[in-house]
Amino acid sequence: MWRKKYYLLVGLLSVVLVIRLFIAFQSSTFAYGGYAMLRQVTYILTYFFPLYQDPLSYGGRQLVFSPLFPYILALFGSIFPIWWVAKVVPNVLAVVTSLFVFLILRRLTRHEGVALFSAFVTGLFPLFLTATVSTLSPHTLALPFLLACIYCYFLVCDNVAHLPVLLVLIAVFPFVHLSALFLIGGLFFYWIISIVQGLAPRKIEREVILFDTIYTLWLLFLLYKKAFLVHGLALIWQNIPSAVLNAYFEPISVISSFASIGILPIIFGTYIVYKYTFTKGEWEWYVIIGFVLFFFMLLSFKLLEPIVGSLYLGIFLFILSGKYFCLALDYIEKTKLADYKRVSVMLFCMLFVISLFAFPKENNHPSQELVDALGWLGEYSQPQETVLGTVEEGDIITAVAVRKNVWDSQFLLIPAIEQRANDITQLFQTASEITAVTLLSKYGVNYILFSPNAQKQYSLSELVYTTDENCFTKIYEKNDVRIYKVLCTVKAL
């Protein structure tokens, strides 16, 4: 019997992987932010160390980040072509996330079928696909790490012999991403809930939570010390300029939440939170509820990007939905539908799956035309020259054209970022040639990338000042992707 269940689990996870890879290979490009990760992987393959002193980003700057994810990609990149690695490995890690959802639910519900179905749909819900297919986001690794820590936390509470495994996971987590803080936050909320419910954490739980808190905060301070000293508590918002911050933290509507996570997971998960608020249940469920409330709090107070917060929140809502499935199955057993249990379960599962894919997914990838244009620019221009583009395009400029950018999505440690963001907005929107040339000279810009993304973002179809052929010449145009060469400069007094 166990072999049959094992083969079924492998089969379902294989289907998830195949679907994700099919979607990934529909495009030859990656998400905008993924190109920064590609540069890191390429640099590690060449020099064996991460790129902490970047000569191209912002014309030259220092980077701070957790290096484990690019090292893992580089490890596989040393064996296989990097493009294939960047497409396949993140999706394998996403399947590992589904595996831990299965393991957690199998433990909490003691129902293999519910755990299998929940693991399957978790790997394919809309936001998870959008945020992890071809994005090269470190959250692709942070998610299974977080779930692995939670699962081992459950095991340690049963048998302290599993403690070394949990300690290793906690020790490594800060090297994955700042998301290691999520484990502290979720367990802290669980601690509060359990005390309110009269389920005080046991000694081993208190010791694990205390160790995780002290160790993670200490190590992250060492890794991000300079950023913390420069930005202080504002590090939470990653030094993002206000104009970009407003775009990142757009209010989350009910409809968009339903579209990105799914209607039924939100309803089912919310019901379980409500149910366990007023009735005492198994302590493990309060751990999951603690993480749900923690991410809901982060989203409510705009302490986390909506797409990231909704991603983590969605995963835990799917886990809570597994409990709802069990309650629904128990209810069916007590009604006349018990005679049609298989049909009822099949219809219920079909309805659940349909609710996930009733909405289109956001496309956050650059066009192949844009990538081709930057590849051409890399051959046409000189290595020391600088290219102006939108904030999203900054990472592609450095990765594909291998030229300096004016800005990109990595804002930490950048001085006067508000002024820079305002200047760039003015560069795209001004009609004054004098203003444009002055600002272009300020940042040493040699080329202007004017793409459909810039046209949409700044609500314009032309850069008015580029009509002066004495100062600007169009050197590339294809499918609305235009590149202008700057011929005029203003010397600083």
pLDDT of 364 strictly over 90: no
| Same domain (yes/no): 345, 382 | no
Asked whether residue 42 is domain-assigned, the answer is: no
The predicted pLDDT at position 44 comes to 97
110-114-116 Cα angle (round to 5): 105
pLDDT in tens, 322-340: 998 888 877 777 776 666 6
- The residue out of 356, 387, 407 marking a domain boundary is 356
- The residue out of 317, 336, 356 marking a domain boundary is 356
The predicted pLDDT at position 493 comes to 42
Query: How would residue 490 be classed by pLDDT, with cut points 50, 70 and 90?
Result: confident
pLDDT of 345 strictly over 70: no
| Same domain (yes/no): 268, 299 | yes
CB 372 within 8 A of CB 483: no
Higher local confidence (pLDDT), 459 or 346: 459
pLDDT in tens, 253-265: 545 655 678 788 8
CATH number of the domain within which 440 lies: 3.40.50.12610
The predicted pLDDT at position 255 comes to 53
| Same domain (yes/no): 348, 395 | no
Domain count, the chain: 2
The predicted pLDDT at position 475 comes to 95
- The CA-atom distances, in angstroms, between 169 and each of 111, 148, 373, 461 are 27, 8, 43, 51
pLDDT in tens, 378-395: 999 999 999 999 999 999
| Same domain (yes/no): 321, 421 | no
- Average pLDDT of 175-202? 92
| Same domain (yes/no): 192, 292 | yes
| Conformation bin of residue 490: beta by default, left when phi > 0, alpha when psi is -120 to 50 | beta
Model-level pTM greater than 0.85?
Answer: yes
| Same domain (yes/no): 390, 469 | yes
477-483-487 Cα angle (round to 5): 130
- Average pLDDT of 196-204? 86
The predicted pLDDT at position 349 comes to 67
| Same domain (yes/no): 118, 266 | yes
pLDDT in tens, 40-88: 999 999 999 999 999 999 999 999 999 999 999 999 999 999 999 999 9
Q: Which of 414, 401, 407, 395 is nearest to 40 (CA)?
A: 395
The predicted pLDDT at position 363 comes to 57
| Same domain (yes/no): 136, 179 | yes
- The residue out of 308, 323, 356 marking a domain boundary is 356
Asked whether residue 35 is domain-assigned, the answer is: no
| Same domain (yes/no): 340, 375 | no
Asked whether residue 333 is domain-assigned, the answer is: yes
Percent of the chain residues topping a pLDDT of 70: 91
| Same domain (yes/no): 93, 168 | yes
- The CA-atom distances, in angstroms, between 333 and each of 179, 251, 327, 329, 433 are 41, 42, 10, 6, 75
Q: Which domain holds residue 379?
A: 368-486
pLDDT of 148 strictly over 50: yes
The predicted pLDDT at position 342 comes to 66
Tokens of 172: 């490594």
